Each structure stands twice: as C-alpha cells, then as structure tokens.
Structure 1
Amino acid sequence: MQVAAAVPTEGPFARRYRALSIGAVSLVALYAFESLAVTTAMPTVAAALDGLSLYAMAFAGTLVSSVVGMVAAGRWADRSGPRVPLAHGVAWFAFGLVVAGLAPAMWVLLVGRMVQGFGGGLMSVALYVVVGRVYPPALRARIFAAFAAAWVVPAIVGPAISGLIVEHLGWRWVFLLFPLVAGVAALMVLPALCGLGPLPEPDPVAGDRHRMVWAVVAAASALLLHHGGQQRGWVAAALLAFAVAGLLLSMVRLLPPGTLRAARGLPTVIALRGIAAAAFFGTEVFLPLLLSRERGLSPAWAGAALTIGALGWSLGSWNRGRMKDPSPARVLQAGMALLTLGVAGAALAVIPAMPLAVAMAAWVVAGLGMGTVFPSLSVLTLELSPPARQGVNASALQLCDALFTAAMLAVAGSMFAALLERAPLAAYLSGFSMTAALGLLGLLLAGRVRPADAG
C-alpha cells in the first residue's frame, strides 16, 4: 500500500484517504471521550470506593501500563505493519473498561485502568505509524491536527455527559458504555489497513530483545515511586531510591540517546513531549477534584474545566495545522509560554475568593499551548526519523509522555496525600507549582529541537 507519494495538495479526507482518516479520527475521538469522562468521574469514584489516597494512582497506573503497550507496539508495527497491534490495542482497551466498571474495590479499578492503559499504548503508537506510512509529509500536520480536533465534540459534551451519568445512573456506567463503541470504531479503521504490511528491512535497534523487560521495569518503578512516597521513615527512603534508580535506568534504555539531557534535535523533541504532557496533565488531574471538593461544584460543572481546556487545545491545533512552514523552535516557544501561563493561572482556583472564571480562562490558554506544541512535536519526530525507525521513535515520543507524567503524578500524588488533611491549600499548590516549573523548563529547551548542523 504505497500512498505516501500522493499529490500533496490533496487533503487527509480526499477519496484515497477518506475511510482510513474517518476511522482513525473516530478512534481518537472515542479515546478522548473516555479520557475526559473518566477524569470527570474520578472524584466520585474515589469517594465511593474509599480510595482518595489512590486518586493519583488511578491515572498514573494507566500511564505506566501504557509504557509496556507502547514499547510492544513500536517494533511490532515496524515488523508486521500497524494493523495487528491496533486491533489488539482496541481489544485490551475495551476489556480494561469492563474490569474498571465492575470493580468492587479501588485496587480492582486500578487493575482495570492498567489493562486499559496497555491497550491505549498499543493504539496510540499504531496510529502514529499509520500516519508515517500512509500520509505524505505535506499532510501529516493536518492529520495530526485532525486528531486533536477529534477532541472537540468529546470536549464539549464529554464532561457534561459524564457528570450527568454519575449523578443519575452511577459512575460505573462511565466505563461500561464504551467497550461496544470501541469495537464499532475498530471496524471502521482496520479494513483500510489490510494492505499495509511490514517494512522490507526494519531497522534493528540495539538491545531490542530487552526493551520489553525495561518497559516493565519502568512501569514497576513508577508505581513503586508512588507507593514509596506515601510511606514514612527508612522504608520510604529505600523504596524511593529503588524507584528512582529503576526509572532512570529504564528511561536511558527506552528513549533515544541524549533525551534526559535534552541533546539537540530528536532527543529534545522527545523530552519536550514528556515535559509538556507532565505539566498539562499533572494539573488537569487535580483540577476537577479541586473544583468539586474545595469549591463545591457538581461533577458536571467540575468537568467544565476539562471541556474548555480541550476546546483550547483543539483551537491551538487547528491554528497549527494551517501554519505555512513555521519555525519549529519559535512555534514551540510560543506554545510552551502559553502552557506555562495557563497552568499558573489555573492554580489560582485554590484561592477561595478568586472568581472561578479567572482559572477557567487560564485553562483555555493552557489548552491553546498544548494544541500548538503537540502537533509540532509529532511532525518533527516523523521529519527527523528515517522510515524504518518511525515506529520506534513514535513509541519513544509517547513513552516519554507517559513516563514523565506518571513520575510527576507519583510525586504530586504523594505530596497531595500527605498534606490534604492538614493543609488542603498547600496540597494542591505543591502539585501546581511543580507543573508550572516544568512548563518553564520546556520553554527554555524549545530552541534545541533542531540538530546543530541544521542551523
């Protein structure tokens, strides 16, 4: 299936791409709807299952298990084509939703969320490979923008619908309504990939046989980091030391060389994805909890914060998809500046006298920043990767996203759990200050996305 040489003036929904584009965007929209709905419902879920101390883990567990799925999907897609890992991803994702929806206790829900995360990791990398293998370079920014735009309808109706489901049907239906829809979306996209087989000569990766082992080490280390942060004394110190060591060692082996020191070019592109994701999602996870628990909003109204943030993201992505040959560094600097300002502004919601409209407006700004940054990083990753390494590098892009965010949630979640009963204001501010600092770090690194020999 050689369509990458198509006339670049065609759009991603031209006849030759239409079925595939609609199916892929539908999967992204489903994932978006579920993500926003679960984030809206989670404060109620944690209260119902007496699991507020594991609130951050409910999100971090999904992220760390997605690491294993991403690593598996990267080489799998390069060697056999993206169709099979995508099909498995949808199946595992749907199964995890069922487990979570039927969970009698918080730990069972965590297991379901981890199964769901594994499937999501398979899906996300497979879709990136589809873009690299099918669409010509001139269309890649537009299809990534379409993926981001697929969050528009879920962003508008997802949190509100989720809040209403929680209030009138119960939180379990937020999980149980999605598996059938996932199967229908898969039937739309998978037939279009039947001719997309393996690459003639997949590029070997040093230590490839051990990548799955290191993915499991990374996931276990991130979970241990979260658990250790809630312990006390020498037990906490020992667990945290093991967790940090395991996380750093696994990152060195899973991510491109130089990522952790933000070497120029692709390593900085990968690092920025993790930094931006940790800054945004590390704030978003706690925002509905703050609005419902401290400011007294209903689940539906607390979910409105997610709605406006996702709308800002979609608007930023729409604008990015229409830029003509922009300077990558300047675009990323602008996006990271917006993200940092938005995170800092949203943190003002912890002040009881502060009108919530201020925080909501700031979260739109944060969404604009993410809509600018994420498509730009996706395009740069494909641009800086030879065809035989697009799967591996797309996997690394999302691995960094998941690992940085999971680590951020582990640290923030531990501080939150330790401070919540004694000093609620400090509990929220401890996390928000870290995410704002990450945004500022991303702004400082954005000028390093081009290799040194590129000028």
Structure 2
Amino acid sequence: MTTTAEARPKLFTGQHLPLVLGVIGLVTLGAFENRAVGTALPTMVREFDALGSFGLANAAPTASYLISLAIAGLWSDRRGPIPTLRAGAVSFAVAQLLVGTATAMPTVIAGRLLSGLAEGLLDVSLMVLVARALPAVLRPRMFSLFAAMWILPSVLGPVLTGVVTEQFGWRWVFLGALALLVPSWLLLRPAMRQSAAGPAPERTAEDAAELEAWRAALPWALAASVALFTMTVAGDHLEAHPVLGGTAVLVALVVLGLAAVRVMPAGTFTARRGFPAVVAVRGLGGAAFAGVGAYLPLLLTLQHHFSPSRAGVTLSITGVCWALGSWLQGREHRFERVTVLRTGLAFMTVGLMVTAFLALSDATTWIGLIGWGFAGIGMGLSSSSLSVLTLDLSDRNNAGRNSSAGQMVATMSIATGLAVSGTLLAFNADDPQPWVFGTIILGGAALAGAGFLAAARVRRPPAATNLGRAGV
C-alpha cells in the first residue's frame, strides 16, 4: 500500500530533475552576470576612457527590463513560455557577445540594454514554465532554490570576477557565461517539450478582453522604462546640475506614476483583496528592502570608515539571509502561506528598525548589521511566498501577465524609492549627516510595515483569480 509520504511528489526526482537543474543553471548564470558587471564595469570604462558613461551603462538594463516584462507577460500567455524562454536565452547570448567583444562604450551599452531585455524574458518565462511543469505543492521549494542560487554569486561573484579580470581580462567574464548557457538550455528541453505538448488553454471572452487591455498598456510600460532611465541618469548628475537634474527627476516621477496607474492590476493602490494585494505587497516590500540596501555600503564607508571590501559585507548578508528565509518558507509546515508572508514582513519591519542603529554611532555597528540580517530573512520569507501566491492566484491564461505585473510594480517602486532617497542624499552630498541615512532606513521600515498590513488582504476572494483590467 502506498503511503501519503511515498505518493507525495518530490523535486529532485527523475521526472523533475532536468527542469530543476536547468532552472538552477539559468538563475545562477543570471546572478553571476548581475554581480559580475558591478565588479568589471569600472575597469571597462577606464579602458575605453568613458567614465561619463558609467551611469548610462548601469541604467540601461533597468530601462529595457521593464518593457521586457510587459512583453514577456503578454507573449507567454498568448503563445506559452517556450518562445519567450527561447528569445530570452538568445538575447542573453547576444548581449554577452556584444559586451565581451566590444571595442567602444556604445557597444557595451547596447549589450547592457539587451541584457535587461533578456532578464525580463527569462524571469517571466521561467515562472510560467514552473507553473505548468511542477505541481503546486513543489513550487515553494522551487522558489527557495531560486533564492539559494544567489548565495554563491553574491559571496564569490565579485572575487571570481576580479580574479578573471586581473588574470585574463574583463572580456572573459562575459564570454565565459556562454559556456554555461548551453548545458542549462539542454536540461530544460524535457520540461519545455512537456509544456508544449500540454493542452492549449481555453480562452473566454473575459480572457480575450484582459489580453487586449494588457496589450494596450504596453506603450505605458515603454513610457515607464524611459522614465526609469531618465531618473537614473539625472540622479547621477544631480550634484553638478541640481536644478536641471531635479526637474528631470520630478518629471520622470510624474510619468512613472501615470504609467503605473495604467499597467498595475485594478485595485493595486487600495490593496484590493486577492491578487491586487499581492502586487501591492510586492511593491512595498521591494522598495523597503532594496531602497535601504542600496545605501548601506555608502553609510558604512562614510559614517563607520569601512573599506570598500568591508562595506561589501552587506551584500554577503543579503545573499545568505535572503536564501535562508526562502529556504524556511519552502519547508513543510502547518502555517498558511499568508501567515508565512506576514511573518516575513514583520521580520523585515523590525529588522530595518534595528538597522537604523547604523546611523547612530560606531558602537552600534554590529547591532545594525544583525538587524539587516533579520530584514534579509524577512525578505526571503516574503519574496518567495509572493511568487507562490502569484501562481496560486493565476491560471494558464494569465500566469505570464500576473508574474510580469508583480515584477514590474516591484521595479517601479524600487526605482521611485531610490530616486527619492538619492535626491535627499544629493542635497546633503557635501557632508551627509547620520539623520539622512536614518531617514532612509526608517522610511524603508515604514514601507515594510505598510506591506505587513496590506498582506492581510492577500487571501483569495471568492471566484476571483484573474489579473483583471489594467489601472486602479
């Protein structure tokens, strides 16, 4: 007689193992590329004598990533995840070739734009592929693996990139990524064939209307991409041109707000029960965590006199603690998914409040870093839970759009938070006082607290799983 434990599907079995290994390979590859750029880019701009293009090269992927998410969501729902995944892999390969063989900075920037496009296509298509190829009970563990694959890139990525750059040249950082792309792709082929062989989803008139509404929102996603790009570039020049840069940031924020209204699911701003609340919580939590994490190395360098290498400890804490939180949510337990989500947001809120001790004095440095660790665990618990809830509240007709909507809102909210924080810091750039950093960190804690309150509305409303029309 078969027991319940024996009948329960397992992630690392012959049936699911190729998919798991292939996804692990692609996620790890993307994580290493993300971490490698930050290490190699200073060398690249010096070699090309193009220091002024540093901000542009950093901003390019964010802009293309946002419009890519919108395209990927629509494409994956209309044609399935395979064409989107294939386009993402090809775009990633071409991006690495462009950057790895570049002879001038414009080629690097073109490669970085294509890299952002590839990231959006891969992120959404992998989510949809997981939704179609894995039973729901395995999704929490799968998303915990997503987070775990960022540990080694976060801890070893900068060191490995530095060694490769010094010994062989920065070009091999990008060209070497192509060697890992091929085996990852081959491992995904069985799951891709399974997804392609599945029955085509039945579309109702309501589904068709939702697809049309999402397609109509694409120009607004493009406007949001341009606004994000403008904010990043203007922020880099805010100190030199405060009036012009400040005006550009303000106009970009207005455009971003208008675009957000068009591309967000209806009810996001009011955290309407069900999927809109999931999107709202993702935006609040993402802005809270990323908005604080971006400034911690600078805070440690200026206020606590850490060296650049020591200040990077926050990145290591982020990677390890995020993965730990994600692993915890993926374990078997008796708690509801919403309870796990709210626990994560509570950890993040309290952790960020403790992190604010970093803005006080040297005597509280390690207290603040411990608080940041708790915030990282909270982010791991909540982020992976939100991914699970997104698929739980989706079906084959809208999993792509729902996945891309959540990530788009997170991207826009993070960029908005960074623009506001960057403006605050820019007007105190000559001698930033501890209160500036304290304000940024406590502001993040307030956003996480708002996410904790909104998470109570995540539970599925009766007979409502679809994304719904764009707008509020």
TM-score by length of 1: 0.85
Change (3 A) 1:293 1:41: farther
> How far apart, in 2, do the equivalents of 1:428 and 1:435 lie?
11
Partner of 2:394, secondary structure, is: coil
**Equivalent residue letter for 2:444:** T
> How far apart, in 1, do the equivalents of 2:66 and 2:302 lie?
31
TM-aligned CA deviation for residue 176 of structure 1: 5.0
Q: Structure 1: any 5+ residue segments left out of the alignment?
A: 1-6
Q: Structure 2: any 5+ residue segments left out of the alignment?
A: 1-5, 464-472
**CA distances 1:199-254 after superposition (whole Å, capped 9, x unpaired):** 34353224233233221111112223345553544x55754454233212222222
TM-aligned CA deviation for residue 46 of structure 1: 8.2
**Is the counterpart of residue 224 in structure 1 residue 230 in structure 2?**
yes
TM-aligned CA deviation for residue 436 of structure 1: 2.7
TM-aligned CA deviation for residue 99 of structure 1: 4.7
- 2:186 aligned partner: 187
Output aligned runs, 1:83-162, within 5 Å: 83-99=82-98, 111-162=110-161
**CA distances 1:285-322 after superposition (whole Å, capped 9, x unpaired):** 33334445665555544433222221111111111111
Task: Please say if residues 359 and 435 of structure 2, whose CA atoms lie closer than 8 Å, have aligned partners that are also in contact.
Answer: no
Change (3 A) 1:329 1:209: closer
Output aligned runs, 1:367-386, within 5 Å: 367-386=376-395
Partner of 2:456, secondary structure, is: helix
Higher mean C-alpha deviation, range 22-31 or range 186-195 = 186-195
**Equivalent residue letter for 2:224:** A
> How far apart, in 2, do the equivalents of 1:410 and 1:14 lie?
45
Residue-pair matches, total = 446
Task: Please say if residues 419 and 426 of structure 1, whose CA atoms lie closer than 8 Å, have aligned partners that are also in contact.
Answer: no
**Equivalent residue letter for 1:32:** A
**CA distances 1:53-101 after superposition (whole Å, capped 9, x unpaired):** 965x765543332111111111211222212211221232344345556
Output aligned runs, 1:359-438, within 5 Å: 359-423=368-432, 425=434, 428-429=437-438, 431-438=440-447
**Is the counterpart of residue 335 in structure 1 residue 334 in structure 2?**
no
Change (3 A) 1:303 1:90: farther
Q: Flag the structure with larger Rg.
A: 2
TM-aligned CA deviation for residue 283 of structure 1: 2.4
Change (3 A) 1:121 1:88: same
Change (3 A) 1:440 1:58: farther
**CA distances 1:103-162 after superposition (whole Å, capped 9, x unpaired):** 788887555433211110100000110111111111111211222222233344234434
- 2:202 aligned partner: 201
> How far apart, in 1, do the equivalents of 2:445 and 2:170 lie?
31
- 1:213 aligned partner: 219
> How far apart, in 1, do the equivalents of 2:21 and 2:337 lie?
28
TM-aligned CA deviation for residue 414 of structure 1: 3.4
Partner of 1:385, secondary structure, is: coil
- 1:4 aligned partner: none
**CA distances 1:136-194 after superposition (whole Å, capped 9, x unpaired):** 11111121122222223334423443455567767666555434333442333245313
Higher mean C-alpha deviation, range 210-219 or range 175-184 = 175-184
Change (3 A) 1:237 1:162: closer
Task: Please say if residues 69 and 121 of structure 2, whose CA atoms lie closer than 8 Å, have aligned partners that are also in contact.
Answer: yes
> How far apart, in 2, do the equivalents of 1:18 and 1:251 lie?
38
Output aligned runs, 1:249-328, within 5 Å: 249-291=258-300, 295=304, 297=306, 299-328=308-337
**Equivalent residue letter for 2:200:** L
Change (3 A) 1:217 1:50: same
Change (3 A) 1:135 1:105: same
TM-aligned CA deviation for residue 17 of structure 1: 1.1
> How far apart, in 2, do the equivalents of 1:307 and 1:103 lie?
31
- 1:3 aligned partner: none
Partner of 1:387, secondary structure, is: coil
TM-aligned CA deviation for residue 407 of structure 1: 1.9
Change (3 A) 1:108 1:417: farther
Partner of 1:326, secondary structure, is: coil
Task: Please say if residues 33 and 154 of structure 1, whose CA atoms lie closer than 8 Å, have aligned partners that are also in contact.
Answer: yes
Task: Please say if residues 269 and 381 of structure 1, whose CA atoms lie closer than 8 Å, have aligned partners that are also in contact.
Answer: yes
Task: Please say if residues 12 and 20 of structure 2, whose CA atoms lie closer than 8 Å, have aligned partners that are also in contact.
Answer: yes
> How far apart, in 2, do the equivalents of 1:326 and 1:196 lie?
31
TM-aligned CA deviation for residue 353 of structure 1: 1.8
Task: Please say if residues 222 and 410 of structure 1, whose CA atoms lie closer than 8 Å, have aligned partners that are also in contact.
Answer: no
> How far apart, in 2, do the equivalents of 1:351 and 1:91 lie?
48
